[in-house]
Amino acid sequence: MVFVQILLDGLLLGGVYAVIALGFSLVWGIMNIINVSHGAFVMLGAYATYWITTSSGLDPFMALPITMLIMFIVGGIVQRFIINYVIRAPAYITITLTFGLELLIVNLALGAWTANFRSITVSYSGARFFVGPFLFPYTRFFIFVSALVLTGLMHLFITRTKTGAAIRATRMDLESARLNGVNVRRIYIITFGVGAALAGVAGGMIAITYPISPQMGFSYLAMSFIIAVLGGLGSMAGPLIGGLIFGLIEALGSFLIGTGFKGIIAFTLLVIILLVRPSGILGREYY
């Protein structure tokens, strides 16, 4: 029974991880940019949800769509006026730029909000329900369901909309997409904006379950990278599968070895993936 409960806890935790990696994987897969500032966007989304909730009294889950809209605008502006100038530059330049952007955002946040931890407290924070002998916290269960819904909506957006078709065309062949009338600059703005929005909603979910601080994003950046590699960049389901597997491995590893070894477990997993299947579980060349 205890072992099954640990597996269930790992799956619920993996739902959060999947949302964290979804935006990172999208930007990397479509724009070929490893966005090192992704952790900062997660942090901004966490604070946006915190301030919306505390200032208006709105339920944090109801605040998440507002957070997504705010972060979509922020991401679009960042792409248009910063990332756009290095869009096809060598990888080391985009990594250096986004790393500098990460440091800038974090230090601005430290100056504005200090390093003190903050948390969102709601009436059902400690509430839980049972299915047979197994326990499910309401907040983590809602987040897990939200992760499934977001992944499904992203899949529909990429595969069933005109904008999604333009995104896929841009990924497959940039010049052909441009010759067929695709506004590549607009597509890049939308893609980066959606990536930031997904990072923001992930941050909001984290704020509902964990304390937040301006420096929280660094660990989630590393996690996003590992999950994106694990799931593969060729499918919207990749981050979901990768997140769930990562959550399971972390939960089992913490139980069998100890919570102090979570980092070692994560990076050992990354090395194994790169050696055995560099394209990831669901990775393929195009979306």
Is 269 a member of any domain? yes
Is 174 a member of any domain? yes
Which residue, among 258, 21, 11, 1, has the nearest Cα to 151 in the 3D structure?
21
Is 65 a member of any domain? yes
CA angle 281, 285, 286 (to 5 degrees): 105
Note down the domain range covering 38.
Answer: 2-276
Task: Tell me: pLDDT of 154 over 60.
Answer: yes
Is 282 a member of any domain? no
pLDDT confidence of residue 108? 96
For 67-87, write each residue's pLDDT tens digit: 999 999 999 999 999 999 888
Which residue, among 191, 181, 217, has the nearest Cα to 84 in the 3D structure?
191
Say which residues have a Cβ less than 8 Å from residue 114's Cβ, sequence separation at least 6: none
Is 283 a member of any domain? no
pLDDT confidence of residue 257? 76
Is 287 a member of any domain? no
3-state secondary structure 143-205: HHHHHHHHHHHHHHHHHHCHHHHHHHHHHHCHHHHHHCCCCHHHHHHHHHHHHHHHHHHHHHH
Is 41 a member of any domain? yes
Query: pTM above 0.85?
Result: yes
Average pLDDT over residues 156-161: 90
For 88-139, write each residue's pLDDT tens digit: 788 889 999 999 999 999 999 999 999 999 999 888 877 888 877 788 888 8
User: Tokens representing 189?
Assistant: 């703005």
Task: Tell me: pLDDT of 173 over 50.
Answer: yes
pLDDT confidence of residue 148? 86
Q: What is the overall mean pLDDT for the chain?
A: 86
pLDDT band at 273 (very low <50, low <70, confident <90, very high): confident
Least confident of 63-67, 193-197, 223-227, 254-258: 254-258
pLDDT confidence of residue 287? 43
* CATH code for the domain in which residue 267 is found: 1.10.3470
Total domains in the chain come to 1
pLDDT confidence of residue 1? 66
Which residue, among 96, 17, 68, 77, has the nearest Cα to 200 in the 3D structure?
68
% residues pLDDT > 90 (the chain): 38
Is 284 a member of any domain? no
For 234-260, write each residue's pLDDT tens digit: 567 788 888 888 888 888 777 777 666
The separation between CA 221 and the C-alpha centre of its own chain, rounded to angstroms, equals: 8
Name the helix (H) or strand (E) containing 67: helix 60-81
